[in-house]
């Protein structure tokens, strides 16, 4: 694999390594991303995915929102792949400070990572919009139509929808970790979703990009690897 040695050299020379990832980290676990050839945005729906996953759709058409959400966003059987597992191993060994993710699938935690900043929330956390009671993923996955709490309120996934702001604690933590990183590994993300993508501008250390298609960060990266992230990480 070309340039793998350079990646390993950067890794060995760094003291504060942070991983910043997106949907491409989970495609090898069988979860489609948004912008690849076979991604969600290339499929045909009655409304575009940006609307189906918006706060407006959740408020106005909750039944349709949940039909789309269950079919396209919930991957209940997905398992961590070698990238998730390697990152968890590095954290255990003290070689990785944090994972910052735009993913909502919880696969980093399932692999054993602990210092994870979920910029877009998680399908595993859900709460009643009326009384605040928490519900597991299974409750939302198995309900019909819009899931309802006993109090009558709708149960909303703690996932950042289009039109909503990012969770402040995840944002602050991610910013802190990225600002002091001397190596930032950006992988499996088109960097098309703002403001998450702007976080990488706060890194003054080395930047390695691992992505199948070009990203806006390629020009300023110290190394760009056009590899499948799971395959690459299993070769490290
Ligand atoms: P995106 O815009 O779909 O970009 C994914 C990028 O990953 C593309 O540039 C692909 O070329 C690249 N890619 C795909 N597979 C691989 C691979 N195996 N190895 C290396 N590169 C690969 O997704 P982003 O994460 O950039 O966009 C942010 C959205 C997508 C966030 O809001 C997420 O919540 C949302 N999303 C999350 C999931 C998930 O949680 N698994 C799934 C689908 C979408």
Mean pLDDT per 10-residue segment, the chain (236 residues)? 88 97 97 84 79 95 94 91 98 98 98 98 98 97 96 97 96 98 98 94 97 97 97 93
Q: How far, in Å, CA of 34 to CA of 40, rounded?
A: 5
Q: How far is the CA of 153 from the centre of ligand 1 (A)?
A: 32
Q: Which pTM value belongs to this model?
A: 0.95
C-alpha distances out from residue 212 to 30, 79, 185, 225, 228, Å: 16, 21, 14, 8, 6
Question: Which residues are registered as beta bridge partners of 116?
Answer: 99
Question: Which residues are registered as beta bridge partners of 156?
Answer: 127
Q: Which atom of ligand 1 is nearest to the CA of 40?
A: 43
* Residue-level pLDDT at 1: 59
Q: Which atom of ligand 1 is nearest to the CA of 39?
A: 3
Q: How far, in Å, CA of 1 to CA of 126, rounded?
A: 42
Q: Is 212 in contact with 230 (CB distance < 8 Å)?
A: no
* Residue-level pLDDT at 2: 65
* Residue-level pLDDT at 217: 97
* Residue-level pLDDT at 8: 95
120 in active site:
yes
Q: Nearest 5°: phi and psi at 20?
A: -120, 115
Q: How far is the CA of 133 from the centre of ligand 1 (A)?
A: 31
Sheet hosting strand 223-225, strand order edge to edge: 116-118, 98-101, 17-21, 183-187, 206-210, 223-225
Q: Which of 84, 120, 124, 127 is catalytic?
A: 120
* Residue-level pLDDT at 62: 95
* Residue-level pLDDT at 36: 82
């Amino acid at each position: 694999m070309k340039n793998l040695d350079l990646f390993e050299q950067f890794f060995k020379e760094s003291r504060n390594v942070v991983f910043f990832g997106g949907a491409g980290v989970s495609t090898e676990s069988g979860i489609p991303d948004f912008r690849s050839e076979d991604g969600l945005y290339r499929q045909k729906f009655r409304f575009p995915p940006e609307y189906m996953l918006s706060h407006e759709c959740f408020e106005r058409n909750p039944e349709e929102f949940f039909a789309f959400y269950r079919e396209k966003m919930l991957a209940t059987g997905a398992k961590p792949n070698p990238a998730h597992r390697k990152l968890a191993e590095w954290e255990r060994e003290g070689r990785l400070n944090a994972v910052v993710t735009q993913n909502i699938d919880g696969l980093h935690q399932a692999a054993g990572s602990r210092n994870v900043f979920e910029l877009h929330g998680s399908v595993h956390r859900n709460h009643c919009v009326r009384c605040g009671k928490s519900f597991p993923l299974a409750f939302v996955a198995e309900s019909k139509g819009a899931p309802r709490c006993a109090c009558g309120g709708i149960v909303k996934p703690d996932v950042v929808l289009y039109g909503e702001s990012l969770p402040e604690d995840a944002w602050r933590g991610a910013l802190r970790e990225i600002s002091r990183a001397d190596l930032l590994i950006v992988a499996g993300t088109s960097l098309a979703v703002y403001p998450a993508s702007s976080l990488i501008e706060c890194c003054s250390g080395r930047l390695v990009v691992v992505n199948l298609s070009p990203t806006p960060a390629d020009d300023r990266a110290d190394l760009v690897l056009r590899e499948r992230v799971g395959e690459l990480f299993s070769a490290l």
